Structure 1
Amino acid sequence: MKIAFLTPEYPHRRTGTAGGIGTSILNLTKGLIALGHQVVILVYGQDKDAYFEEDNVQYYKIKNIKIKGLSFYFTQKKVERLIDKLYSENKIDIVEAPDWTGFTAFINPKCPLVIRENGSDTYFCHLDNRPVKFKNKYLEKRALKKADAIISVSHFTGTLTNKLFKLKSPFTVIPNAIDVLAFKPFPKTDTRLTILYFGTLIRKKGLLELPEIFNKVHAENKEAELVLVGKDSPDIFTNSKSTWALMQPLFNANAIKKVNYLGAVPYKDMQDLIQQATVCVFPTFAEALPVSWIEAMAMEKPIVASNVGWAKEVISDGINGYLVHPKDHTTYANRILELLEKPSLQKEFGKAARKKATTTFSAEVVAKQSVEFYKTMVTL
Structure 2
Amino acid sequence: MNIGFITPEYPLKNSSRSGGLGTSIKNLSIQLIAKGIGVTIFIVGAEEDEVIREDGIEFHLLKPKKLPFLTWWVSRKKYQNYINSICLKNKIDVLEAPDWSGITAFMKFTRPLIIRLHGTDCFFCHLEKRKQKKKNFFLEKRALEGADAIIAVSNFVGKETRDLFDLKKEIITIYNGIDSEVFTPLSIDREEKTILYFGTVIRKKGVLELAKAFKKVLEKDPEVRLKMVGKDSTDVFEGRSTSGLIEEMFEEEERKQVEFIREIPYESVREELAKATVVALPSFAEAFPMTWLEAMAMEKPMLTSNIGWANELMINGETGITVDPSNTDDLANGILRLLNDREEAAAYGKNARKRIINRFSSSRVLEENINFYNSLLT
Partner of 2:298: 299
Partner of 2:369: 370
* Unaligned runs of at least 5 residues, structure 2: none
* Unaligned runs of at least 5 residues, structure 1: none
Write the letter of the residue equivalent to 2:123. Answer: Y
Aligned residue for 1:226, secondary structure, equals strand
Aligned residue for 1:319, secondary structure, equals coil
Judging changes above 3 Å, is the alpha-carbon distance between structure 1 residues 189 and 130 closer, same or farther for their aligned structure 2 residues? same
Q: Summarize the alignment of residues 186-225 of structure 1 with structure 2, pairs less than 5 Å apart.
A: 186-190=186-190, 192-225=192-225
Partner of 1:257: 256
Residue 14 of structure 1 deviates from its aligned partner by 8.3
**C-alpha distance in 1, partners of 2:19/2:207?**
17
Aligned residue for 1:261, secondary structure, equals strand
| Runs of 4 or more consecutive aligned structure 1 residues displaced over 6 Å after TM superposition | none
Aligned residue for 1:320, secondary structure, equals coil
Residue 49 of structure 1 deviates from its aligned partner by 2.3
Partner of 1:46: 46
Identity among equivalent positions (%) equals: 44
CA deviation map 1:78-130 (0-9, x unaligned): 22223332333452000000001111111111210000000111111111221
The normalised TM-score by structure 2 is: 0.95
Write the letter of the residue equivalent to 2:189. Answer: T
Judging changes above 3 Å, is the alpha-carbon distance between structure 1 residues 168 and 252 closer, same or farther for their aligned structure 2 residues? farther
Instruction: Indicate whether 1:358 and 2:357 are aligned.
Output: yes
Partner of 2:247: 248
**C-alpha distance in 1, partners of 2:175/2:168?**
20
Write the letter of the residue equivalent to 2:84. Answer: D
Instruction: Indicate whether 1:37 and 2:37 are aligned.
Output: yes
Judging changes above 3 Å, is the alpha-carbon distance between structure 1 residues 218 and 15 closer, same or farther for their aligned structure 2 residues? closer
Partner of 1:229: 229
User: Which range moves more in the overlay, 183-192 or 129-138?
Assistant: 183-192
Judging changes above 3 Å, is the alpha-carbon distance between structure 1 residues 244 and 167 closer, same or farther for their aligned structure 2 residues? same
Partner of 2:57: 57
Question: How many residues are treated as equivalent by the alignment?
Answer: 378
Over the aligned positions, Cα root-mean-square deviation in angstroms equals 1.7
Residue 253 of structure 1 deviates from its aligned partner by 5.1
Residue 256 of structure 1 deviates from its aligned partner by 3.0
Instruction: Indicate whether 1:166 and 2:169 are aligned.
Output: no
**C-alpha distance in 2, partners of 1:81/1:216?**
55
| Contact 2:15–2:265 under 8 Å retained in 1 | no
Residue 155 of structure 1 deviates from its aligned partner by 0.6
CA deviation map 1:276-324 (0-9, x unaligned): 1111001111111111111111110011001112111110111101110
CA deviation map 1:204-241 (0-9, x unaligned): 1111111211122122223322111111111120112x
**C-alpha distance in 2, partners of 1:260/1:90?**
46
User: Which range moves more in the overlay, 207-216 or 82-91?
Assistant: 82-91
**C-alpha distance in 1, partners of 2:260/2:14?**
28
Partner of 2:316: 317
Judging changes above 3 Å, is the alpha-carbon distance between structure 1 residues 188 and 52 closer, same or farther for their aligned structure 2 residues? closer
